[in-house]
Amino acid sequence: MSINLAAEVAPATGAASQAWLLLALPALGAAVLLLAGRRRAQGWGHLLGSATVLGAFVYGLVLFFESTGLSPDQRTQDLLLFEWIPVGSLDVDIALRIDPLSLTFVLLITGVGALIHIYSIGYMGHEREDRSRFFAYLNLFIAAMLLLVLGNGFVTLYFGWEGVGLASYLLIGWYQGRGYAATAAKKAFLMNRVGDVGLALAIFLMFKTMGTTSYAGVFEQIGGQSTAVVVAIGLLLLLGACGKSGQFPLQAWLPDAMAGPTPVSALIHAATMVTAGVYLIARSSPIYSLPQAADARLVVMIVGAFTLLLGCVIGCAYDDFKKVLAYSTVSQIGYMMLAVGLGPAGYAFGILHLLTHGFFKAGLFLGAGSVMHGMNDEGDIRRMGGLWKKMPITFATFALGYLALIGFPFLSGYFSKDEIIYAAFGEEGWRGWVFGGAALLGALLTAFYMTRLLVLVFLGKPRWEGLKSEDGKDYHPHESPSTMTIPMIILAFGSVAAGGILATMLPEWLEPSVGAVAEREGLVSHGMVAVMATVAMVIGAGLAYLLFARGEQPVERPQRVSWPVRAARADLYGNHLNEALFAKPGTWLTRALVFVDNRGVDGLVNGIAAGLGGSSGRLRRTQTGFVRSYALSMLGGSILVIAALLMVRFA
Amino acid sequence: MTSTADSWVLWALLAVPLVGAAVTVALRGNDKTAKLAALAFSVVELVLAGVAWSLYDPAGERLQLGTTLDWIPAFGVHIAWGVDGIALVMIAVIALLVPIVIGAGWADRLPEGRTKGGFFALILLEQALTVGVFAATDVFLFYVLFEIMLIPMYFLIGSYGGANRQYAAVKFFLYSFLGGLIMLASVIAAYSLASDTLGQGTFLWEELVPVVSAAPLTTQIWIFFGFFIAFAVKAPLVPVHTWLPDATAEAPMGVAVLLVGILDKVGTFGFLRFLLPMTPDASKELSWLVLLLAAVGVIYGSLLAAGQSDMKRFVAYVSIAHFGFIALGIFAFSTQSLTGSVTYMVNHSIATGMLILVLGMVIFRGGSARIADYGGMAKLTPVLAGMLLIAGLSSMSLPGTNSFISEFLVLIGSFPNAPVHTIIATVGMVLAALYVLWLYQRIMQGPLRGDAIVGAAGGPGAVVAPEVGARKAIADLSGREKLVLAPLVLLVVALGIFPKPVLDTVEPSVAATMCEAGLVDPVQSDEEQAQC
Amino acid sequence: MTPTYYLLLSALLFTIGAVGVLVRRNAIVVFMCIELMLNAVNLSLVTFARINGSLDGQVMAFFVMVVAAAEVVVGLAIIMSIFRTRRTASVDDANLLKY
């Protein structure tokens, strides 16, 4: 079937031999901005920050075009920078792998990244003093994310993996004064760390069984490993992917992460970082494509399908603008997971959906940011409505992103999502029906909650009139400055056109990285899937329109609602579960251990000391000072000694 | 007497801090000159350590830069110095930390009637003794220095520490001293083994290793326990760890750095220098015990760190968790895990040293070590907050920081031989993130709160807004403090990105230790089998 | 003449001395009782020397006498000074040296 992915690694030549520049530019940007301090960099920090990412994007384009000039089997190139951790048989290098998959990501990251940097210039205009630090963190993120996708082994991937986690932590907790932002940042980092344990253990297992952790080495030897090892590695990698990509059961951090500034949500928590899990599985396609890994792949599919429905259901119930989008992200990444779980039939479409999603979700988030920017940072969609008149550009770009997301025919999402649904129906037996059905149901629900969002924010009556925001100001919605609208317009173009353009070219382009797309006979034909998906979309959107566009919508959230809505509002009890299973027992365990350590372990030591002191105190009392009692004890002692001597003598 | 041309370096490394201590104590009448003298001598020591590093040849003999003189010929006791890669990096860490500690303690408030001169003189004395411990290649000399180095530390804690310092100092002393006495029994046993086998007793490490390692298993186990208990107390491993939180909590911050960063490392250094080569069979036989203590220590220390309400005790428990990692790596018996443990010793000194110093700066500002007395400080002191975060990230072994290299090596090297323990320790990674980020959140993030912060702002009923008042009272890092932390930050990042110089220095000595102990790597590439 | 009688006498004298030390309060009397015990021992030493036909026991007895003489010098001096300061020679009243 596919070409042997491991065997064809060429040393980097041409522009690719300087590919370290990709990492160095944003990394230097971050270092300079952090060292310069906020006062010195106030005037130029945002410009430097944007310029480095733009430079990296241009360099990425150069690499891309150079790569397209090569024949497909020469497109996978390795570039050794330096030896990182060489100890004994373990040899970890800082080295880059430049191949179609990583280049695709490089363009996505630097392209969307650059747009969002530019957008942030306007968005962070209110807090000029700290803006350069914000750009430093963004640059740090870009550098780490590029390392993640460019590294040529699992350890360098892990380096970038934790690096983006750090950047994400710093940016979620950007509003240091708000307690919940700090908590959300910590939660994000911790849940990611849980996933990282999986990734780390996968790396350890690779080293134990194969003696290497580089892609080339692992992919070459993985075929010879036992089923148990392959499945274990597959599941451990999946755990890592679940953490980073907000998949069940580690999804709870992503909605909370919306506490960060909106450009951060767009870049990190929608377009790039959270898709790293999908990248990981696509990158490990030589592992997952093995017949031994079928069980692991099934688990990936189950996780993906379950998460995509979970995200949709919860998304229907939320009233917070960004959290609805966050759950939408959870759900869309579920689609991607499902796709890459399908194996050779789905890798390319998972990546395709990832790219189109990168465009329209980033655009949607920027739209959300634009709305909130004009509405005193208000996030409650019940307090909005009728905003299309006040923010026409935002509305237009948001609507295009919305149409792309719900899979409106011939926009981006239509191509990518339908391919996934089609591929899911292509599984054998019950799996085809279950996964295909789940994906189709997801499409219906997606249309429902997104329509609800659009209607409540932009259409209907302006419910915000006469209300005041939390800080007591009136709402004066207004269109955002051009540094913010231009990136939105560009992304809207992407939402419209990217799917159509990429759908034909991407599978072939990615072939050297993830193998060829496996064609197979599906349960339903391609055309049929398109019809079914469109019908599902129309039903979902129509239902939402009927429910929310007609009549008055209350400004206050209705409290007397049915059980499913209550469950969805409570994140389907995901947080309760975490709380009950980990947080509470952990807290009790910690308290108990502190007690044991103070009273038990240390108590034992202090107890011995106190015991010695106390018994000496008692013994001291026998020293009465009466000479005659000493004499008596001497006498008694002598008698004892003599008795003992006699006993020994005559026994 | 034998010595090599370069052996002067070790003598100088021993002599400079001793002379420095004498000069500093003589100048103690004038704070300023005494401080400058101490700093100057410690910088000279740092330069000397650099010279030693450059003279050391990783591919060369097992012990280098050595001298052997007779001390008590009747008992085969020598004054013998020499370093391998492991001892060398530790000496380098000592030389690095002492000037930083002196810089950090520049403006500390000392208890009534104590002078900076006396304080710094004791620190220099401690430096000389610890260099001696790491450089000693005569087991008896090692034992003597191992015990003597308690004395300056006893006074550093007991005379310059916090309110409960006497209790902490006595506890520290008794724990270490008891452990040391048990070790003495093993030292003597090793000597008598040598006099039985060789016909003439000796304490020289190089001569003892072949003798003791050839002893029957039961004998080895007795000798093992003697050494092990002493080193486990020193390291410290759970359950003989409770002296460390008290000592750290009461010691002045700089002394806490020396205690956690250097003195404790003697324990894990002892595992490598004495247990593995001298009692290889017993080490293998009892590795399950040490691995168990190590894995328990990682989780136990992490959970307790999360449960502490006092910053200094927090650091102590963080260290206990980290020592669990180090012990795990040493007794998982692979080149990677052992190298990881040695680099962990270095990186832990840097990372935890930085953490202690930064927390010391927080405490210096707020006047309290209780975490609950702080909150939202990042607003007032952004640079300090950044430093705390960097130190914390290194403590939780984030890739890109120095500690990641060592923790990764320990775990990946331990996994083949001790998978269960490694998995448990890997869970410790999550807990590490928890305790570090939670501490950071409580001190730095959120709204301004806590007695120390609000108190500095003039109390709850103050006329000015709390933020304005606190901003006046609580300043960000001074130039001196930045200068003190800068080398640490630099090392945290540099050793995280490019650890090769340290790895290359350490690895040959680790390989030699593995050979002495008869250990074979579980994962080997084809070309490097059977190197012994 | 059997040595047994001497030994019995010696044991009797020793017991009287020991009981005297234990039951009497006056320091002088206690002191005398100690002397009595010493001399009882001397008696047995000399007796045993006679039985064994060697002079060792007699030499030992001389040593005891010398020590006893020295002891009397020191002991009486102590008793004198206690009597001077405390106006009593009872050993139960001189119990300052305790715990």
Indicate whether A514 and A405 sit together in one domain: yes
Q: Would you say C14 and C40 are in contact if contact means Cβ atoms under 8 Å apart?
A: yes
**Element at A98 (helix H, strand E):** strand A90-98
Q: Considering the domain boundaries, does residue A501 fall inside one? A: yes
The answer to whether residue A346 scores a pLDDT higher than 80 is yes
The answer to whether residue B466 scores a pLDDT higher than 60 is no
- C-alpha span between A369 and A262 (Å, rounded): 5
Name which of A7-16, A54-63, A226-235, A325-334 the model is least confident about. A7-16
Please check whether residue A632 touches C, CB under 8 A.
yes
Name which of A321-335, A571-585, C61-75 the model is least confident about. A571-585
The answer to whether residue B341 scores a pLDDT higher than 70 is yes
Q: Check A176 against B409: CB less than 8 A apart.
A: no
A472 Cβ contact partners less than 8 Å away, ≥ 6 residues apart: none
Q: Taking the C-alpha atoms of B98, B101, B103 and B106 in order, what is their torsion angle to the nearest 10 degrees?
A: -130
Q: Check C98 against A628: CB less than 8 A apart.
A: no
Please check whether residue A644 touches C, CB under 8 A.
no
The answer to whether residue B524 scores a pLDDT higher than 90 is no
- C-alpha span between B330 and B291 (Å, rounded): 9
State mean pLDDT over A347-369. 89
Q: CA of B71, closest CA in chain A: separation in Å?
A: 38
Nearest to A98 by CA among A223, A215, A237, A249: A215
- C-alpha span between B491 and B89 (Å, rounded): 14
- Tell me whether strands A10-11 and A77-87 are parallel, antiparallel or unpaired: parallel
Q: pLDDT tens for residues B177-205?
A: 999 999 999 999 999 999 988 888 889 99
Q: pLDDT tens for residues A395-408?
A: 999 999 999 988 88
What are the extents of the domains in chain C?
25-92
Q: Check C21 against A621: CB less than 8 A apart.
A: no
In the numeric block, the tokens 């949709």 are attached to: A312
Nearest to A356 by CA among A286, A305, A406, A284: A406
In the numeric block, the tokens 């003892």 are attached to: B208
Q: How confident is the model at residue B462, as a pLDDT?
A: 46
State mean pLDDT over C31-50. 93
Measured between beta carbons, which residues in chain B are less than 8 angstroms from residue A173? 445
Q: pLDDT tens for residues A286-299?
A: 999 888 888 899 99
Domain final residue pick, A99, A131, A152 = A152
Q: Which of A620, A621, A632 is opposite residue C22, by nearest beta carbon?
A: A632
The answer to whether residue B44 scores a pLDDT higher than 90 is yes
Indicate whether A437 and A477 sit together in one domain: yes
- C-alpha span between A122 and A480 (Å, rounded): 8
The answer to whether residue A593 scores a pLDDT higher than 90 is no
Measured between beta carbons, which residues in chain B are less than 8 angstroms from residue A601? 238-239, 241-242
Measured between beta carbons, which residues in chain B are less than 8 angstroms from residue A594? 304, 307-308
Using alpha carbons only, give the angle A150, A151, A152 rounded to the nearest 5 degrees: 115
- C-alpha span between A130 and A150 (Å, rounded): 30
The answer to whether residue A446 scores a pLDDT higher than 60 is yes
pTM, to two decimals:
0.89
Q: Taking the C-alpha atoms of A441, A265, A192 and B320 in order, what is their torsion angle to the nearest 10 degrees?
A: -160
Q: Considering the domain boundaries, does residue A634 fall inside one? A: yes
Q: pLDDT tens for residues A13-24?
A: 777 788 888 899
Indicate whether A396 and A533 sit together in one domain: yes
Q: Check A626 against C91: CB less than 8 A apart.
A: yes
Q: CA of A619, closest CA in chain C: separation in Å?
A: 9
If you average pLDDT over every residue of chain B, what do you get? 89
Indicate whether A207 and A243 sit together in one domain: yes
Nearest to A26 by CA among A116, A88, A100: A116
Q: pLDDT tens for residues B383-432?
A: 999 999 999 999 999 999 999 999 999 999 999 999 999 999 999 999 99
Q: How confident is the model at residue C1, as a pLDDT?
A: 60
Indicate whether A192 and A313 sit together in one domain: yes
Q: How confident is the model at residue B412, as a pLDDT?
A: 94
Measured between beta carbons, which residues in chain A are less than 8 angstroms from residue C95? 624-627
Q: Considering the domain boundaries, does residue A109 fall inside one? A: yes
Q: How confident is the model at residue A6 (pLDDT cuts 50, 70, 90)?
A: very low
The answer to whether residue B233 scores a pLDDT higher than 90 is yes
Q: pLDDT tens for residues A154-170?
A: 999 999 999 999 999 99
- C-alpha span between C61 and A355 (Å, rounded): 114
Q: What is the DSSP string of B180-196?
A: HHHHHHHHHHHHHHHHH
Name which of A174-183, A185-194, A290-299, A445-454 the model is least confident about. A174-183
Q: CA of B427, closest CA in chain A: separation in Å?
A: 7
Q: CA of B45, closest CA in chain A: separation in Å?
A: 29
Measured between beta carbons, which residues in chain A are less than 8 angstroms from residue B415? 201, 204-205, 207-208
Of B487 and A470, the one with more pLDDT? B487
- C-alpha span between B43 and A364 (Å, rounded): 58
Measured between beta carbons, which residues in chain C are less than 8 angstroms from residue A638? none
Name which of A248-262, A471-485, B120-134 the model is least confident about. A471-485
Whether B contacts C, i.e. 3 or more CB pairs less than 8 A apart, is no
Of B229 and A460, the one with more pLDDT? B229
Q: How confident is the model at residue A137, as a pLDDT?
A: 92
Q: How confident is the model at residue B463 (pLDDT cuts 50, 70, 90)?
A: very low
Indicate whether A76 and A158 sit together in one domain: no
Using alpha carbons only, give the angle C54, C58, C63 rounded to the nearest 5 degrees: 135
Please check whether residue B393 touches A, CB under 8 A.
yes
Q: How confident is the model at residue B529, as a pLDDT?
A: 57
Q: Check A631 against C21: CB less than 8 A apart.
A: yes
In the numeric block, the tokens 């003989």 are attached to: B240
Q: What is the DSSP string of A285-353?
A: HHHHTSGGGHHHHHHHHHHHHHHHHHHHHHHHH--BHHHHHHHHHHHHHHHHHHHHHTGGGTHHHHHHH
State mean pLDDT over B310-320. 93
Indicate whether A95 and A116 sit together in one domain: yes
Q: Considering the domain boundaries, does residue A587 fall inside one? A: no
Q: CA of B35, closest CA in chain A: separation in Å?
A: 30
Tokens describing residue A90: 């373990």
- Tell me whether strands A90-98 and B2-3 are parallel, antiparallel or unpaired: unpaired
A189 CA to centre of own chain: 10
Please check whether residue B508 touches A, CB under 8 A.
no
Which one-letter amino acid corresponds to residue B58? Answer: P
Q: Which of A89, A155, A183 is opposite residue B521, by nearest beta carbon?
A: A89
The answer to whether residue B41 scores a pLDDT higher than 90 is yes
Q: CA of B271, closest CA in chain A: separation in Å?
A: 20
Q: Buried b vs exposed e over A228-241: b needs ≥16 C-beta within 10 Å? A: ebbbbbbbbbbbbb
Q: CA of A585, closest CA in chain C: separation in Å?
A: 52
Q: Would you say A407 and A417 are in contact if contact means Cβ atoms under 8 Å apart?
A: yes
State mean pLDDT over A577-590. 82
Q: Check A602 against B525: CB less than 8 A apart.
A: no
List all chains that touch chain A, counting a touch as 3 or more CB pairs closer than 8 Å. Answer: B, C
Alpha helices in B216-263 (DSSP H): 217-234, 243-250, 253-258
Q: Would you say B474 and B443 are in contact if contact means Cβ atoms under 8 Å apart?
A: no
Tokens describing residue A140: 């740090």
The answer to whether residue A555 scores a pLDDT higher than 60 is yes
> Quick one: closest CA in B to A177, which residue?
B446
Selected from 1.10.287.3510, 1.10.3720.10, 3.40.50.970, 3.90.1150.50, the CATH number assigned to the domain covering C25-92 reads 1.10.287.3510
Chain C contact probe: residue of A616, A622, A627 with most C CBs at under 10 A: A627
Q: Check C98 against A627: CB less than 8 A apart.
A: no
The answer to whether residue A369 scores a pLDDT higher than 50 is yes
C-alpha to C-alpha distances, B325 to B232, B297, B494, B513, nearest whole angstrom:
13, 8, 22, 19
Tokens describing residue A123: 């968005």
Indicate whether A494 and A544 sit together in one domain: yes
Nearest to A278 by CA among A366, A226, A337, A329: A337
Q: Would you say A104 and A27 are in contact if contact means Cβ atoms under 8 Å apart?
A: no
Indicate whether A132 and A159 sit together in one domain: no
Q: CA of A623, closest CA in chain C: separation in Å?
A: 5
The answer to whether residue B530 scores a pLDDT higher than 80 is no
Q: Which of B335, B415, B426 is opposite residue A208, by nearest beta carbon?
A: B415
The answer to whether residue A642 scores a pLDDT higher than 80 is yes
Indicate whether A139 and A164 sit together in one domain: no
Mapping DSSP onto H, E and C, the string for B116-166 reads: HHHHHHHHHHHHHHHHHHHHECEHHHHHHHHHHCHHHHHHHHHHHCCCCHH
Of B358 and A567, the one with more pLDDT? B358
State mean pLDDT over B251-268. 91
Q: How confident is the model at residue B262, as a pLDDT?
A: 92
Q: What is the layout of strands, in order, in the sheet containing A90-98?
A: A10-11, A77-87, A90-98
Nearest to A21 by CA among A70, A76, A81, A111: A81
Measured between beta carbons, which residues in chain B are less than 8 angstroms from residue A87? 335-336, 339-340, 409, 413, 503, 507
Of A39 and A1, the one with more pLDDT? A39
Using alpha carbons only, give the angle B168, B271, A205 rounded to the nearest 5 degrees: 110
Q: Check B446 against A182: CB less than 8 A apart.
A: yes
Measured between beta carbons, which residues in chain C are less than 8 angstroms from residue A631? 21-22
Counting the structural domains of chain A, the total is: 3
Q: Check A89 against B393: CB less than 8 A apart.
A: no
> Quick one: closest CA in A to B412, which residue?
A204
Q: What is the DSSP string of A570-632?
A: TGGGHHHHHIIIIIHHHHHHHHHHHHIIIIIIHHHHHHHHHHHHHHHHHHHTT----HHHHHH
Domain final residue pick, A99, A134, A152 = A152
β-partners of residue A90 are A87
- C-alpha span between B283 and B294 (Å, rounded): 14
Classified as helix, coil or strand, A375 is: coil
If you average pLDDT over every residue of chain A, what do you get? 86
Which domain does A377 fall in, by range? 153-558
Q: How confident is the model at residue B224, as a pLDDT?
A: 94
Q: pLDDT tens for residues A222-238?
A: 888 889 999 999 999 99
State mean pLDDT over B54-58. 90
Measured between beta carbons, which residues in chain A are less than 8 angstroms from residue B444? 176
C3 Cβ contact partners less than 8 Å away, ≥ 6 residues apart: C47, C48, C50, C51
Q: Would you say A367 and A487 are in contact if contact means Cβ atoms under 8 Å apart?
A: no
* A-B C-beta contacts closer than 8 Å: 149
C-alpha to C-alpha distances, B456 to A179, B441, B444, B445, B459, nearest whole angstrom:
21, 20, 15, 17, 7
Q: How confident is the model at residue B153, as a pLDDT?
A: 93
Indicate whether A534 and A639 sit together in one domain: no
Measured between beta carbons, which residues in chain A are less than 8 angstroms from residue B382? 38
Q: How confident is the model at residue A513 (pLDDT cuts 50, 70, 90)?
A: confident
C-alpha to C-alpha distances, A275 to A194, A329, B154, nearest whole angstrom:
17, 9, 55
- C-alpha span between A225 and A210 (Å, rounded): 8
B307 Cβ contact partners less than 8 Å away, ≥ 6 residues apart: A590, A591, A593, A594
- C-alpha span between B80 and B421 (Å, rounded): 38
Residue A466 buriedness (CB in 10 A; 0-12 / 13-18 / 19+): exposed
A445 CA to centre of own chain: 22
Q: How confident is the model at residue A562, as a pLDDT?
A: 78
C87 CA to centre of own chain: 25
Q: pLDDT tens for residues B127-145?
A: 999 999 999 999 999 999 9
Q: How confident is the model at residue A3 (pLDDT cuts 50, 70, 90)?
A: very low
Q: How confident is the model at residue B464 (pLDDT cuts 50, 70, 90)?
A: very low
A60 Cβ contact partners less than 8 Å away, ≥ 6 residues apart: A22, A103, A106, A107, A110, A111
Q: How confident is the model at residue A2 (pLDDT cuts 50, 70, 90)?
A: very low
In the numeric block, the tokens 């036989």 are attached to: B285
CB contact residues (below 8 A), chain B span 137-176, against chain A = 171
Q: How confident is the model at residue B528 (pLDDT cuts 50, 70, 90)?
A: low
Percent of the residues in chain A that have a pLDDT greater than 90, as a whole number: 29
Indicate whether A545 and A419 sit together in one domain: yes
In the numeric block, the tokens 């309110």 are attached to: B163
Query: Euclidean distance between the first and final Cα of chain A, in Å?
Result: 95
Measured between beta carbons, which residues in chain C are less than 8 angstroms from residue A624? 95, 98
Whether A contacts B, i.e. 3 or more CB pairs less than 8 A apart, is yes
Q: CA torsion sign, B305 to B309 to B313 to B314?
A: positive
B400 Cβ contact partners less than 8 Å away, ≥ 6 residues apart: A159, A162, A163, B493, B496, B497
Tokens describing residue A468: 């005041």
The answer to whether residue A1 scores a pLDDT higher than 50 is no
